[in-house]
Amino acid sequence: MCGAKVGGLSLDGVNVAKEAVIQGQVLRGAGDEATPVSGAYVRLLDKSGEFTAEVPTSATGHFRFFAGDGEWTLRTLAPKADPVDRVVRAATGSVAEVQINI
């Protein structure tokens, strides 16, 4: 899962070789019916489940974290949806691209 997907966040100005990037998009529904969720919150939890950071999703449902190497949990909180947890591995020199469907 390296590199940005088509239509995803731009990596212009990000030195991926020196960063561990976790980014993605929050969508409501699945398949062709999925729509971006703006105003949701994505939390970054460390391996022990401790809160590390939180960002709101953009108008297109996108989010991005710069994290240390290792295993992280993304917890997505959105109106009219149950929280969704996704485990992701970050590594310096790569982009972990995540799609979260709620």
Instruction: Tell me the per-residue pLDDT of 9-38, one tens digit each, with 9 for 90 and over.
Output: 777 777 777 889 999 999 999 889 999 999
pLDDT at residue 68 is higher than 60? yes
Which of 33, 99, 14 lies closest to 61, judged by CA?
99
Edge-to-edge strand list for the sheet holding 51-56: 51-56, 41-45, 70-77, 84-90
Give the pLDDT of residue 1: 35
Domains and CATH numbers, the chain: 17-101 (2.60.40.10)
Give the pLDDT of residue 17: 77
What pTM was estimated for this model as a whole? 0.85
The CB density around residue 68, as the number of other CB atoms within 10 Å, is 11
